[in-house]
Structure formats: structure tokens, C-alpha cells
A and B are shown apart, each in its own frame.
Chain A
Amino acid sequence: MAEHVVEASPNIEGPRPLPAADAARDWLAAMLLIRRFEERAGELYAKALIGGFLHLAVGEEAAIVGAVRALRDRDYLISTYRSHGHALARGTEPERVMAELMGREGGVCRGRGGSMHMFDGERRFLGGYGIVGGNLPLGAGVALASDYLKRDEATLCVFGDGASNQGTFGETMNLAALWRLPVVFLVTNNQFGMGTALARHSAVTDLMRKGESFGVPGMRCDGMDVVETEAVVAEALAIAREQRQPMLVEAVTYRFRGHSMADPEEYRTREQVAEWRKRDPIDVFGERLEAEGVLEPSAREALDADALERIDAAAAFAEQSPFPAPESLYDNVYVLGDQVRGWYSVDERAAGVHRGEDERALAERKRRAGNGEDGG
């Protein structure tokens, strides 16, 4: 399969200038946090503390951190089932991400979504989605709301090379361009859709060009280089915002681990993985920071130690967080406003029917309590 894969190539345009020292340290720290988080998640999965499907983004840290750092706080982010890193980069506490992976009440979605379904509305991360290609229309819809409400916001919609073959890809590109929405589509080209190499799933392997015929121009960045990724995504976001021109950015990267934890990786060679690992985005950036005198080697080690410590705390928090209570099974099936009348659920588990009385009463009590605070 090797002949189908884009060769690991050095940065074509030459290295972009480093950001200010504080930002550089922050980017490295964010990448380290993701790496250590993913490694720990893999270990906890092996110990059966995490279940279901677990998709790690080891190797893709620069593509994640570079893209997320290009966003302003008021911009939106929407991603896939491989997005622990996106949540962490956006600032979601690792404790709550890890607790979600363990299915605990303290998780970002109270254990309902699991690893594939991250969410942090406060930080404008509108979710990781388990259906390949399912988040593209949503991303354009978020941009539609920003545009409609005349809010100065852009949306970054992240998906994989494999997702670019879904019907939603073409349909979303067209409509985003037609309505001139402030959205950037970021295709994380990690060379594979599950076990299928890029050239075996996409007739056009130059992914940045896949939006052109729909009116969405493309840009490419080396997704192993956090500096370049940030610069290119920031430029695309500026174009989307200021010129109302949606953009497609291809970040060329590689996933070092299997597609999910249950992947024998028979579709690629060890040599290929080793070749890409030489371009480990964290090592490359860390070494550059040292070479250009931004960071002492000891400071780099200290950042890594901080990340590990944070992950220890996250794992400890998650393990102590309780599992959701059985009575909470029906929470949030509906938004129970006063308009919901009659029974909405019938189940032998809960004596007859659900009419929402309990939930409504609780909501009312909360509302009163909230008003009381406002008044006082």
C-alpha cells in the first residue's frame, strides 16, 4: 500500500517565524498535554476503565493545537470522534474529558456521550460527532447563525480525509460558498480512513483541491508543524470572516497509533510509521524552540512534567467521579418546557409512562432559585 501514501515531506515553504515566547511555550505545553492524555487514555482502555471505541490522535497534535490556537474565543469549533485533543486545546479541563471517557457523571457530557462525543458549549466547542461527515452541515449551520445574527464569529469545522467522500462534503461546500458563510473546513489528512489508504478511497488525493469546483478555495499546511498550521488556519479564518469566503485547509499529518484500540494495522508497514515518527510534531517543535533559544532543555522537561502531573490529576478525578445514577437514564431526552404535554415516554422500567412532571417541577425549582439569586 506504500505507493499510495503521500511521502513524509519536509516543510515546502521553509519554516515560518516562531510566535512570541509565551505563545510558543503555550503551544508546546498544549501538545504535550494532548500526547500525555492520549497515552494515559490508551492505558486506561487496556485496563478496561474506558470502554467502547477509543480513537487517539497521537501524531496529530500540531494539526490540532495549531488550528485551535488560530481561533479567537468567540469563534466556534466542531469536530469528530477523534477530538479529545480539540477539547483540551480549547481549554476544557482534562479531568472532565477523562471522566467522560470513563462514563462518569463528572464528564463533559455526564458520561452519556463517551470518547466519541465531546462537547464544551462554554468554550464554543460544539461537539465531536460519531457519524463520519455528519458534522460538516452542522459547521456550516453554525456559521449561518453567526452570519444571520451579524455576529463577528467564524467556525472551524474539522474532519478527516475519509469524510471528504461523504455526500455531505460536496453539499456543504456548495451551500457555504453560495451563502458566503464565515466557515473554514479543516481536513485532517492523516493518510487513512480507518484501514483504507488515501489513494484507495479518494480519486483526488490533493485534498485541498476538493472544494474548488464548489467555490471553496483550498490551502495546505504541514500538519506536523504547529507554527505553519496556526499561520495557515489563521489566514483562512481571516478570509472567511472578512471576505465571507469559506475556505478548505488540508493539514497533512499522520496518526501514529491504530485507527481505534482494536486495529491490527495490517494495512500499513512499520517502516512507514517509523518514517513519520521521525517528524514527531512535539519533538520537532521542542527542538526548534531550543535551537532558536526560546526554551532551555530543562524548561522543556518541566513542561512535560507539568503535563504528566495534570494527567495524573485528571485520571484520579475521573476514577473518583461517580457513575451516573440509574434514575438519571431519562434526563434530557427532551427540553421539558411547559409546552410538552401528555406522556412522552413509555417504559416497563419506570412504572408506566413519563409525563415530565418530576422534571418540570425540578426545572421550576431551579428557575425560582435562580431568580431568587438574581433578586438578592
Chain B
Amino acid sequence: MRYREALNEALREELRRDETVMLMGEDIGVFNGAFKVTAGLLEEFGERRVRDTPISENTIVGMGVGAAMSGLRPVVELMTINFSLLAMDQIINSAAHIHYMFGGQARVPLVIRMPQGAGHQLGPTHSHCLEAMYLQVPGLLVATPSTPADAKGLLKAAIRDDNPVIFIEHESLYGQRGEVPEDPDHVVDFGSAAICREGDDVTIVGISRMALTAQRAAEALAAEHDIQAEVIDPRTLRPLDLDMICGSVRKTNRCVIVEEGWPHGGVGANLAALIQEQAFDWLDAPVARVTGADVPMPYSKPLEQIAFPHEPQVVTAVLSTFRDV
């Protein structure tokens, strides 16, 4: 099953299971979704539950918050993560803070789904990876699934959870195939990382699509350098399965973090700080980071291609942790 179909199935099953689940978003109905994730859902569930909205991101999210406070479990689709910036106010000032600000009296069981990522030449207003921005906000849960099974399991968990969830898909993953459990109650818990490949020599943490890049790099490292890398996909960035990551680092003594977003204040910057706080004595080399370039994403293909990480950069970074220190 493809990643996009796994998401579609998760939405379909949850819409069937729970009458209070409803979808809102731009072109998710008649148009079947900009990336076809919601294909066929309007047909099955009708306009009451699957709603095409005007182009009004801040208001759609804000209405999702209000509806979530009063009995619904809305799932809002934003066409890309860059457009979520228009809704940043409602996401942070409302969704993330309401439960705390009102002393626990109100809940916001809202899911905001959106894809991110470069590689399709969509230029500087449509291609960024902004998980690090959401990762910073207390009150939000942040998911970044990289496989169809996780996409389905995490989306179902997100819809059932009582917290606001930033659910970050990746444009390049929609067509990826993978096994997906048939069990309609297959959920993946937030805060449980996945070991994608076992190894003893170095820990590579890959975020979102970079979990796949990390795995390909690990195969190259095994074949060409006799290095066995352990690859971890955290799957959710908030909460974060730091225990599994630090456990792996204590075993391998080396760590490389791979993400597509910007380096400053990125996922890797944060994770490297946590690792050195928790596992400093086990490290044989500084934690290395491989990130997207520190520039707005350019349109031109050759520039775009060098502006986000590929396997060779991961291999180089891993080798750098084996340099004599």
C-alpha cells in the first residue's frame, strides 16, 4: 500500500468509527485533495463531514480549534507546511495553549495534517521542512511518519488523542509503498521511535523522509566501509523517544542526525544538545549533523538538489565521526 493510501485508509476508518471526526481543508472534497490523500472521502461521507473550505488557513485552523473544544475531532488539511505559517497564530496562541491557559478545563483534540519537503522544484514558498518550529511548542504533539504503516498508525493515534497534533507528511513519500497492518485498531503510540536497521558502530537518526536516506546510507556504509550503522526513526518529535536514541548511542558511541530542514535551531541541534546532556560519557566523537542548506529553497533543479541531504553527505558525516580524535 502507498503512503497516500495508508493515510486515506486511516481517515476513512476513523470517520467510520467516530461520528465526531470530520475533515476540513482546501480542495479536499471535489478536487480529492491537492495530493489526493482524501480521494473518495467526500463521496463516502458527504459534505457534512468532508468540507471544502475557502483559502483561509488561519481561520480554518481556528475553527478547528473551536470545534475541537466543543465536541468534534476535526482533521484539518493544509496544502503544504509553508501555508501553515499563515495559521501559526491559531496553532500556537490557541491550539497549543488552551488546555494549559484554562487550567485544564478545555481540550483541543485537533489534527492538522500537511506535507513538507523539497525535491519537486516548488521554490521558496512551497518546499520547506519546518518540523523544528513546531517541535519547540509546548502543548503540541508532532509526528513525522516516514513509512505507510507509521503514517496510518500515527494518524489514527493522532485522531484519537486529546491533544492538538501537528501531523507532518512528506511530498516525496506519498507514492512510497510498504506493508500496512490490516487491523483497524493498529495505532502507533506517540513517543515510540523505530529501529529501522540494527548496528553496533554508529547511530544514525533520520527525521521524516531522511529516515529513508539514512537507511540507504547505512547500506552503503556496510558495503563500502564495513561500518554497521543503527538507524533510528523517532517517528514523533514531541514527545520524543530519547531513551531509545540514547540507549543506542550508549551502544555505538557515535551519532549522526539527518534532517532536511535548516541547521540553526533545527531538530538535530536540539537532539545533539539532549544527547550530550544524557550520554556525554559514552560519546567517542562529537554528534554530527547533516541538514538542509541554510538558504530559502531555490527553484532551479541543480541548486535544489544540493540544498537537501542525500546519502553521500550522510556517509561523509558518519566517516567524520570515525576520524581519530
Contact = CB atoms under 8 A, between A and B. Distances in A.
Residue of A116, A347, A354 ringed by the most chain B CB atoms within 10 A: A347
Interface in B211-257: none
B299 A112 contact: yes
A320 interface: no
B55 A114 contact: no
B56 A53 contact: no
A202 interface: yes
B306 A329 contact: yes
A163 B57 CA distance: 11
A117 B124 contact: yes
A317 interface: no
Nearest to B89: A167
Interface residues of A, number: 46
Contacts of A276: none
B56 A166 contact: yes
A340 interface: no
Interface string A326-338: 1011100100000
A103 B30 contact: no
Interface string A133-162: 110000000000000000000000000001
A103 B313 CA distance: 24
A117 B316 CA distance: 35
Contact of A202 (B54, B59, B124): B54
Contact of B293 (A165, A323, A349): A349
Nearest to A52: B121
Nearest to A345: B294
Interface string A180-222: 0000000000000111100011100000000000000000000
A346 B263 contact: yes
Interface string B281-313: 000000001110111101111110011000001
B317 interface: yes
Interface in B67-116: 82-83, 86
A314 to B, nearest CB: 18
B264 interface: yes
Q: Is the interface of A mostly helix, strand, loop or mixed?
A: loop
Given A167-B56, A266-B31, A333 B124 contact: no
A111 interface: yes
A131 interface: yes
Contacts of B30: 1, 195-196, 200, 266-267
A329 B54 contact: no
A104 B300 contact: yes
Contacts of A133: 55, 86
B123 interface: yes
Nearest to A117: B123
Contacts of A114: 121-123, 299-300
Interface in A9-51: 51
Nearest to B306: A326
Interface string A38-75: 00000000000001110000000000000000000000
Given A51-B121, A329-B293, A162 B263 contact: no
A326 B303 contact: yes
Interface string A273-297: 0000000000000000000000000
A112 B124 contact: yes
B56 A130 contact: no
A349 B306 contact: yes
Interface in B29-71: 30-32, 34, 52-59
B309 to A, nearest CB: 9
Interface of B: 26-27, 30-32, 34, 52-59, 82-83, 86, 120-126, 263-264, 289-291, 293-296, 298-303, 306-307, 313, 316-317
Given A195-B27, A323-B301, 8 more contacts: A111-B298, A117-B125, A131-B83, A162-B55, A196-B26, A196-B30, A324-B298, A333-B295
23 contacts: A103-B303, A113-B124, A117-B123, A130-B123, A163-B55, A167-B58, A167-B86, A193-B55, A196-B52, A196-B54, A201-B55, A202-B54, A266-B30, A266-B32, A323-B300, A329-B295, A333-B294, A345-B295, A347-B291, A348-B289, A348-B291, A349-B306, A354-B294
